[in-house]
Structure 1
């Protein structure tokens, strides 16, 4: 068990520093809404990861390999991300920020549930995440003898490590609140919106031109640590 935990730690660190739309929204949530809101968002993201892991483990490999590369799903996910980014960008342009709007907001219990749901959906609509977790199971599964207990230990360690690192990122981002001004808030929101749009366009490109996009896909086996 200890060997499986030690093997999972580098992978958890790797995941924690992947740059994507979730990464930027997490930092924004921490700075704008505080620690508990950002943690709720992150937990929603992790729940989506757990769902993908379960799908990858219990589904048949042949079916999942077809699903994860289905151009229609990339088009759908890319369209949703792009639309979300455009709407967020337009909202920033139409909103006049004042000193009251960029202070850490006081939230109620239902607000945290909504934020967690946002994290879940933002991660879940990215079908590439399913392909990523499936690849990890195909790579690390045989080294773990596909034993359920060892798989649970390994991937639980990956997600816990990911969460712990994210907590430190949240704490650091929260300190940025003291330096926020209306202009900086608007700029950061625009940057995050544009980033989400870019990732959405990339998914759409993969859906429209699947053969060309494969040339730019990194080999997962090359970036994964040896076990």
Structure 2
């Protein structure tokens, strides 16, 4: 069960930084429209992730597990994460600092926006397929897998909530240069995880 907690926290942490445009849309929305709008967008992302995880778990029941799956998941997953990390290193950030935080926002509208942005991003489904493969290789029972995904979602929602809260509270102190640096840090972390995943796969199968 301890391994399920660690895997879940790791997956939730990476997922909270991995969703590409959604990650910075959440920060931008919190700065421009306030905490409620940013957190509503975060909840929409979580709902999308839960749906994708359900599809991945349901679809995996129709696959006959083979040890070679772990090899392909490790290699393809590592390359995929490496590409995402490179994207983060070179992507640009722009923010509107006009004070719109007092304007009434449609929480359902931002929830729907977060849901659609996440579920229509192919990298999100790819990420959860990779995570599901890793979890299936490490955990045996369905209860452990479900608990692991629950921890992942709780971790992701907590981090996204903190991002939205502090982005709205510190809106004038958060500069584009700081977000560019955060972009690069996230890219380096994701690339490091990609190399770790490919390294572990190489030593396991070769």
TM over 0.5: yes
Q: Which residue of 2 aligns with 1:8?
A: 8
Distance, in Å, in 2 between the alignment partners of 1:223 and 1:104 is: 46
Report the secondary structure of 1:105's partner residue. coil
Q: Which residue of 2 aligns with 1:137?
A: 132
Distance, in Å, in 2 between the alignment partners of 1:114 and 1:11 is: 27
How many residues matched? 157
Structure with larger Rg: 1
Distance, in Å, in 2 between the alignment partners of 1:223 and 1:157 is: 26
State the Cα deviation string for residues 141-175 of structure 1 (Å, max 9, x = none): 13211x22211110110111111112222222113
Q: Which residue of 2 aligns with 1:150?
A: 144
Matched, 1:221 2:205: no
Tell me how far 1:7 sits from its aligned partner.
Answer: 3.2
State the Cα deviation string for residues 101-159 of structure 1 (Å, max 9, x = none): 63303325xx11110000000011112211211111111113211x2221111011011
Counterpart contact for 1:35–1:171, Cα < 8 Å: yes
Distance, in Å, in 2 between the alignment partners of 1:120 and 1:154 is: 22
CA 1:128 to 1:220, structure 2 compared with 1: closer, same or farther past 3 Å?
A: farther
Which residues in structure 2 correspond to 1:22-171 (within 5 Å)?
22-60=22-60, 102-107=99-104, 111-145=106-140, 147-171=141-165
Tell me how far 1:15 sits from its aligned partner.
Answer: 2.4
Provide the aligned C-alpha RMSD in A: 3.4
Report the secondary structure of 2:151's partner residue. helix
Counterpart contact for 1:29–1:37, Cα < 8 Å: yes
Counterpart contact for 1:103–1:177, Cα < 8 Å: no
Moved over 4 A (4+): none
Provide structure 1 residue ranges, at least 5 long, that are not aligned to the other structure. Answer: 66-88, 196-217
Provide structure 2 residue ranges, at least 5 long, that are not aligned to the other structure. Answer: 64-68, 70-93, 184-193, 201-206
CA 1:104 to 1:21, structure 2 compared with 1: closer, same or farther past 3 Å?
A: same
Q: Pick one of 160, 166, 175 that aligns with 2:169.
A: 175
Tell me how far 1:2 sits from its aligned partner.
Answer: 3.8
Distance, in Å, in 2 between the alignment partners of 1:106 and 1:151 is: 42
TM-score by length of 1: 0.58
Distance, in Å, in 1 between the alignment partners of 2:196 and 2:29 is: 30
Report the secondary structure of 2:18's partner residue. coil
